[in-house]
Structures are given as structure tokens and as C-alpha cells.
């Protein structure tokens, strides 16, 4: 499994020593994200300086925000545990794993998207997951713990029984979405399958010979939270105004996306450098399920139940609020 917590780091977290409390809140915050429009709210937040503005309303003047992009969730969680970043913005699986490993010392703040992620293939033989053979490779952002990797486990259990839950684990290879797109575009590349994410999945599906294999909604039976902000409880307790500003800024960004998607996508292009045309990006937002910009956690307990059943989680949460901060209860998730 990609996620690894050293004994010293785990002990420091358990004792609340890794991130010491400060009488005065920080005026700088570092936040991670991954590539793609699943993280569109973060691009709006960055270009409009929403966290900075909301922090000022809370009495924190001069706040600076550093946004850092990582190719996968595993690297983000490593950075959080090492104290190199304050907040990460990645999938539900990583939140659950850190909440469990740290015995509740890492918790969610708010979410911003619940769009479907699609598995694509350029192999005409692979029409469904039943066609995957031992030699086939499936690109995922992080082996074992990414949303896409966990979805494959859930699908395997449904298709072949609980004892075959890890059937596709050996097929997965770790590639960031941009690298996986390049692999799918190359007919000679050994990786011919990619459990993707927006906008990459739609870019790939426009290529001749690339087709859909399955998606998150088909596997889990509904919406699934993608972009999740989470942090250590020590940071949240020491910096309540910053955390509140991040939460309110996310809500403002989601409202802005719904009101003016074109302007939101312009922010995405400015920050990411994505060369996809604005019209193509707008067309992607009209795809089924792509209007699910929401701050309430969706489908997270289904992930928790799966991860506990296969032994990845040692503790089963009673409700989604167990792994979210107390101030996030109003989000009314599931």
C-alpha cells in the first residue's frame, strides 16, 4: 500500500506533538490539490483570493495561501503527515485511511465535488471489467488507496465475491492523470486502461478507439465525493479562523461555479495551464453528473464500509461525522 506512516510520525500524531498549538493563529496556509477540474473550486478560491478575504473578515489580516499541486493523493498525505503542508485536497479514501491510522487526529473540513470518474480503454478487447486479464494494466493516481483503486476493489467484490476483492490490485499501476492520458494516446504503450477523472476522461474519450469501460456511479450506485479538504485536528484547533475561512471560501467557490461556470473554467485554465478550449471544457460540464458541485460529503460511508470489511480500516466509523471536524456537522453528508 502506498500510504506509510513511520512509527515516530504516528506517535507524534497520537500524542498531538507533530503540529504544536500556538496562542496566535498562523497567517499563512499551504494547501494541496491534484490536477483536473474536480478541483475547480480550488482554482476559483485561488484566483479570487477567497480564503484571504474570508480570513480578513475573521480578523486575520495579511493571510497568504500557498497552493501546491501533487499528482496523487498518496504524496499529499505524506506531506501532511510530515508537516510540510497544512491542508490536503484529495479523495475520500485517503481521508478515511489517515483518520483511522491516526486514531481520529486527521479529519475532514468540507468537500467541493462529487462528479463521476470514468475508466477508459484503448483496447478493443476490454469492453467491461470482466474482460480484464492478469497482464492488463490499469493506470490509477495512487495504487491501493486512491478513489479509483478502491472503486476497482468494490467492483471486484461485487463481480467475483468478497474473497476476490483485490482481484484487480495487481493490474493497477501508479500514474498521474496527465501521464496516463499520454499513455492512452500512445497505441504502443503497455498501459491501455486508465481509471480517469475530469477533464482527462473526456479528452481521452474524444480520441478514436478510446471507449468507456465503467464509472464510479455504476460501481457505487450514486454520487461519490471526490475533492475533500482535510487536515490534522491539531492544526484545526490551533487555527479555527483559518479553517472557518477555508470552509466559507469553498462554499462561495461552489456557488460561483454554479452561477458562472465559464468564468470558473477560465480560472482553472489560468492556474493549471490546461490547453483544452473553453468551449470543450464547458461541454464537459454538461456531461451526466458533471453538475455535482457540492459541499456535503457523498457516498463516504460506503467507502468506509468497504475499507473496514477488507481490513484496511481497523475502526469502523459510526457515521460520516466521526471523520469530519465538529464544525462541519451542518454539511449533512452521508
Query: Do 17 and 235 meet the contact criterion of CB atoms below 8 Å apart?
Result: no
Cell numbers 498531538 label which residue? 16
106 φ, ψ (degrees, to nearest 5): -125, 130
Model confidence over 91-136: pLDDT tens digits? Answer: 999 999 999 999 999 999 999 999 999 999 999 999 999 999 999 9
And the C-alpha cell for 230? 482535510
Model confidence over 176-235: pLDDT tens digits? Answer: 999 999 999 999 999 999 999 999 999 999 999 999 999 999 999 999 999 999 999 999
Query: Do 183 and 189 meet the contact criterion of CB atoms below 8 Å apart?
Result: yes
For residue 65, what are the CA distances in angstroms to 9, 87, 131, 256, 318?
25, 11, 46, 20, 34
CB neighbour burial string for 272-288, b if at least 16 within 10 angstroms, e if fewer: bebebeeeebeebbebe
Name the residue among 225, 274, 272 with its Cα closest to residue 250.
225
Chain-centre distance of CA 131, in angstroms? 27
Using DSSP, state whether 29 is helix, strand or coil: strand
Above 50 in pLDDT, residue 21? no
Element (H, E) at 69: strand 64-69
Above 60 in pLDDT, residue 8? no
Q: List helix spans (H) across the chain.
A: 7-14, 40-47, 50-57, 73-81, 92-101, 147-160, 177-185, 200-205, 216-220, 233-238, 240-259, 261-272, 278-284, 300-309
Name the residue among 10, 27, 25, 248 with its Cα closest to residue 106.
10
pTM score, whole prediction: 0.86
Distance CA 270, CA 274 (A): 8
Local confidence band at 308 (pLDDT 50, 70, 90 cut-offs): very high
Above 80 in pLDDT, residue 297? yes
Amino acid at each position: 500500500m502506498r500510504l506509510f506512516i513511520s512509527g515516530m510520525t504516528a506517535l507524534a500524531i497520537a500524542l498531538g506533538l507533530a503540529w504544536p498549538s500556538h496562542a496566535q493563529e498562523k497567517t499563512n496556509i499551504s494547501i494541496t490539490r491534484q490536477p483536473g477540474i474536480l478541483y475547480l473550486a480550488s482554482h476559483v478560491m485561488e484566483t479570487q483570493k477567497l480564503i484571504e478575504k474570508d480570513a480578513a473578515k475573521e480578523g486575520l489580516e495579511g493571510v497568504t495561501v500557498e497552493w501546491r499541486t501533487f499528482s496523487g493523493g498518496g504524496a499529499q498525505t505524506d506531506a501532511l503527515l510530515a508537516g510540510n503542508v497544512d491542508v490536503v485536497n484529495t479523495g475520500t479514501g485517503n481521508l478515511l485511511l489517515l483518520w483511522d491510522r491516526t486514531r481520529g487526529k486527521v479529519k475532514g473540513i468540507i468537500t467541493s465535488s462529487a462528479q463521476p470518474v470514468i475508466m477508459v480503454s484503448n483496447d478493443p478487447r476490454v469492453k467491461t471489467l470482466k474482460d480484464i486479464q492478469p497482464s492488463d494494466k490499469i493506470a490509477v493516481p495512487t495504487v491501493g488507496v486512491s478513489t479509483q483503486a478502491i472503486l476497482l476493489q468494490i467492483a471486484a467484490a461485487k463481480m467475483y465475491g468478497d474473497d476476490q476483492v483485490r482481484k484487480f490490485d495487481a493490474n493497477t499501476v501508479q500514474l498521474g492523470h496527465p501521464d496516463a492520458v499520454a499513455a492512452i494516446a500512445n497505441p504502443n504503450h503497455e498501459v491501455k486502461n486508465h481509471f480517469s477523472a475530469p477533464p482527462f476522461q473526456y479528452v481521452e474519450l474524444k480520441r478514436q478507439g478510446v471507449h468507456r469501460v465503467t464509472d464510479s456511479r455504476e460501481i457505487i450506485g450514486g454520487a461519490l465525493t471526490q475533492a475533500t479538504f482535510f487536515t490534522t485536528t491539531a492544526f484545526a484547533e490551533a487555527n479555527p479562523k483559518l479553517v472557518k475561512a477555508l470552509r466559507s471560501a469553498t462554499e462561495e467557490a461552489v456557488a460561483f461555479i454554479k452561477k458562472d461556470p465559464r468564468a470558473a473554467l477560465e480560472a482553472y485554465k489560468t492556474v493549471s495551464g490546461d490547453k483544452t478550449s473553453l468551449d470543450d471544457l464547458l461541454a464537459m460540464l454538461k456531461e451526466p453528473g458533471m453538475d455535482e458541485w457540492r459541499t456535503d460529503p457523498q457516498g463516504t460511508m460506503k467507502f468506509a464500509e468497504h475499507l473496514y470489511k477488507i481490513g484496511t480500516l481497523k475502526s469502523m466509523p459510526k457515521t460520516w461525522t466521526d471523520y469530519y471536524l465538529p464544525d462541519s456537522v451542518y454539511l449533512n453528508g452521508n
